[in-house]
Structure 1
Amino acid sequence: MRDVKFRGRLFTTAVLDGRWEVVEHPDAVAIVVARGREVLGVRQARPAIGATTWEIPAGLIEPGEAPERAAARELAEEVQLGGELALVSRLYCSPGFSDEQVYLYELTNVRQAHGTPDEGEVLTSEWRDALEVWRSVLAGAEATSGVTLLGLRHVLARAGTPV
C-alpha cells in the first residue's frame, strides 16, 4: 500500500506498506565531457547543502522525455555543447529512500549547440583536471555529486590514471 504524505513540484513523499518512508523523484541525466584528463564542469549554488558545487552538467528528465534527449537538452542549456552521447552507466542516487536514477553519458564529437539555461539558474562552466578534482573532493575541500565522482573515475580510468 502507498500512502502519499506530500506532493510537491519536484518530488513526492510516501509511506509504503505502513513502514517505508520514500521519496519519489524524477530521474536525471549527467554528462561527462572530457578532453584528455580535463573535464568540463559547472559551478552552481546548491541551497540544500548551503554550498556552491562543481559538478558535471546534469538535470532532470522531463515527463515523457527519453534520457538521451534530456542529456542533449541539458548540455545545450548549461554549456552550449552537443555531439554524440554514449551511455556509461545508470545508478540510483540514494536507494535507501529514493527511487531517483541518474543516467551517466559521455559526450564525444563535441560541437557548439544553442540552449537557454533554466530560469534562475546561474552557472559558471570551467575545465578542470579530473585527478585534481577527485583529490579535492576526497579531501573534503569541495562539494560535488556522486555521479560527478563516477564521471571523474570514468575519465581517469580511460586515461590510465590510478586513483
Structure 2
Amino acid sequence: MASADTETIYKGKILTVERLGGKWEVVRHQPAVAVLVLNGQGEMLLVRQARPAIGAHTVEAPAGLIDEGETPEQAARRELQEEAGFDGELTLLTRFFTSPGFCDEELHVFRARDLRASKLPQDADEDLEVLWMTPQALLDGLRDGALVSSGPSVAAALYGVLALNTPGQSQTGQDQ
C-alpha cells in the first residue's frame, strides 16, 4: 500500500517504520509462524524464553520469523526443530495480522501432529526451556498474572481448549 507520499522513518533488520500520507506511522514487519502441539495428555508444547522488549520471560508456542525464500510451512518446521527439538506433520490452522492498527506482521499458525525427535541448533541469541502445560493452565496463569505470553500463544491455548472440549473431538488431541 506504499505510495508516493510514503516516508521511511527507520529501516532495520526485521522491520521498517514508515509514515503514510504524512500522518499514519506503520511498522512493516517480516511475517512469522507459530506452532500448536497437543500431546496425548492434552498438554501444549510451549517454550519459556526471555523477551527483552518487555523485560520478562514469556511462555509461548514455538514461533519465529519466516526467513527470505522460506514458505510459512518450512519456517514452522524449522522453528519447531530449533526451539523444541521436534518435527511432525504440519497443518495450517489460520493466519492473521497481529496488530493491524499499526503493523503489517502476518502470523501463520500451524498444528503439528505425529511428533518425532529432530533437533536443529537454536539461534545464538535464544535460551529456551521446553514446557508441557495444559491449555487451561496457560490461560489460568495468564489470568492470575503468574505467566506472561503472546497473542499467538493465547490463541493456540484457546484453540487447544476448544479442541479438547468440542463434541466429536478426541479428549487426547491425538497430536503426538
Same topology, TM > 0.5:
yes
| Aligned match for 2:13, one of 6, 9, 12 | 9
Match of 1:28 in 2: 32
Amino acid at match of 1:11: L
- The separation in 2 between residues aligned to 1:140 and 1:73, in whole angstroms, is 31
- The separation in 2 between residues aligned to 1:78 and 1:137, in whole angstroms, is 22
- The separation in 2 between residues aligned to 1:128 and 1:38, in whole angstroms, is 5
SS at 1:63 equivalent: coil
Cα distance per residue 1:63-107 (max 9 Å; x no partner): 121000000000111111001000111111111100001101000
Deviation of residue 140 (structure 1)? 2.5
Match of 1:140 in 2: 145
SS at 1:119 equivalent: coil
Rg bigger for which structure? 2
- The separation in 2 between residues aligned to 1:84 and 1:44, in whole angstroms, is 25
Cα distance per residue 1:31-54 (max 9 Å; x no partner): 011114200100000011010000
Report percent identity of matched pairs.
40
TM-score by length of 1: 0.95
Match of 2:22 in 1: 18
Deviation of residue 19 (structure 1)? 1.3
- The separation in 2 between residues aligned to 1:98 and 1:64, in whole angstroms, is 22
SS at 1:34 equivalent: coil
Which has the larger strand fraction? 1
SS at 2:125 equivalent: coil
Match of 1:157 in 2: 162
CA RMSD of superposed structures (Å) = 1.1
Match of 2:104 in 1: 99
Match of 1:64 in 2: 69
Range that drifts further, 111-120 or 51-60 = 111-120
TM-score by length of 2: 0.88
| Aligned match for 2:53, one of 44, 48, 54 | 48
Unaligned runs of 5+ in 1: none
Deviation of residue 138 (structure 1)? 2.2
- The separation in 2 between residues aligned to 1:43 and 1:141, in whole angstroms, is 13
- The separation in 1 between residues aligned to 2:52 and 2:102, in whole angstroms, is 21
Amino acid at match of 1:33: V
- The separation in 2 between residues aligned to 1:85 and 1:148, in whole angstroms, is 17
